[in-house]
Amino acid sequence: MKKIGILLSGRGSNFAAIARNVANGQIPDACIAVVISNRPDAGGIAIAKELGLNARVIPSKGVAREVHDRAVVAALQEHKVDLICLAGYMRLLSPWLVQQFPQRILNIHPSLLPAFPGLEAQQQAFAYGVKVSGCTVHFVDEELDHGAILVQKAVTVLDTDDEHTLAARILEQEHIAYSEAIRMVLEGKYEVVGRRLVRTVTAKEV
Ligand code: GRF
């Protein structure tokens, strides 16, 4: 049974979708070992409590990044997590934290990276006038929104869209993409070649 740790700061819809897919077997042989928020008022923490999961608030306000990250790592280690999923975690991770879990931290970003990294990616894409946007699940490395890509889903921008309707359709795809990526990582049938994640198959599957 693989243990997933979730880090979040907000409403937690991606976390909720992951929890649903763990419960219904779409992410097999896994459990959510702990949900950690840096904000006490995060909706995701309330959802975690409703689901009866281990929910921890480790406040970051006014705390030095390294000190906060050490507390987060201690909580993740205490729960022996195999995989960490950032799900709307509005903090930059220190290089030290990233190094504790090499290729074991995933993030979801609401654009087709490398386009529109950073905050408000959906609005950035909409204002730029792209005809296609989407979402990306990627490994976390020491640069923002940068690590090797696991899954991307494209979303067509409609003439009738505004930034909110576009963001809502991207979010639907996020909820699908994140679970696909988690399943892939937990199955372990891939290798990372440079930046490229390539699926590997056993002779039996060919
Ligand atoms: C999502 O758009 C995700 O791509 C971004 O932060 C948002 C989190 O939303 N990293 P939610 O808290 O999962 O609903």
The CATH number linked to 155 is 3.40.50.170
Domain housing 10: 1-101
Predicted pLDDT at 3: 98
Domain-ending residue, one of 83, 101, 119: 101
Whether residues 153 and 64 fall in one domain: no
* Closest ligand 1 atom number to CA of residue 9: 12
Hunting for tokens 């970051």 — which residue is that? 60
pLDDT tens column, 171-182: 999 999 999 999
The residue from 52, 75, 101 where one domain ends is 101
Same domain as 155, residue 84:
no
| pLDDT band (50, 70, 90) for residue 203 | low
193: enclosing H helix or E strand: strand 190-193
Per-residue model confidence (pLDDT) at position 76: 98
pLDDT at 59 over 90: yes
Residue 34 has which token pair? 């702990």
pLDDT in tens, 124-154: 999 999 999 999 999 999 999 999 999 999 9
Token output for 136: 């990306």
Ligand 1 closest atom vs CA 86:
10
Cβ–ligand 1 contact at 110 (below 6 Å)? yes
- Ligand 1 centre and the CA of 123: distance in Å? 13
pLDDT at 175: 98
Burial 113-137 (b: 16+ CB within 10 A, else e): beebeeeebbbbbbeeebeebbbbb
Residue nearest to atom 9 of ligand 1 (CA): 88
Is the whole-model pTM more than 0.85? Answer: yes
Protein residue closest via CA to atom 14 of ligand 1:
13
DSSP alpha helix (H) spans, 24-92: 43-50, 65-78
Confirm whether 109 is a catalytic residue.
yes
Residue 201: band (very low, low, confident or very high) from pLDDT cuts 50, 70, 90? confident
Q: How confident is the model at residue 185 (pLDDT cuts 50, 70, 90)?
A: very high
What number is the average pLDDT over the span 105-127?
98
Do 115 and 32 belong to one domain?
no
CA distance 165 to 114: 22
Give every CB contact of residue 112 below 8 A, 6+ residues apart in sequence.
132, 133, 134, 135, 136, 152, 154
Residue of 68, 79, 109, 164 marked catalytic: 109
Residue where one domain finishes, among candidates 101, 127, 155? 101
Q: Is 173 close to ligand 1, i.e. is its CB under 6 Å away?
A: no
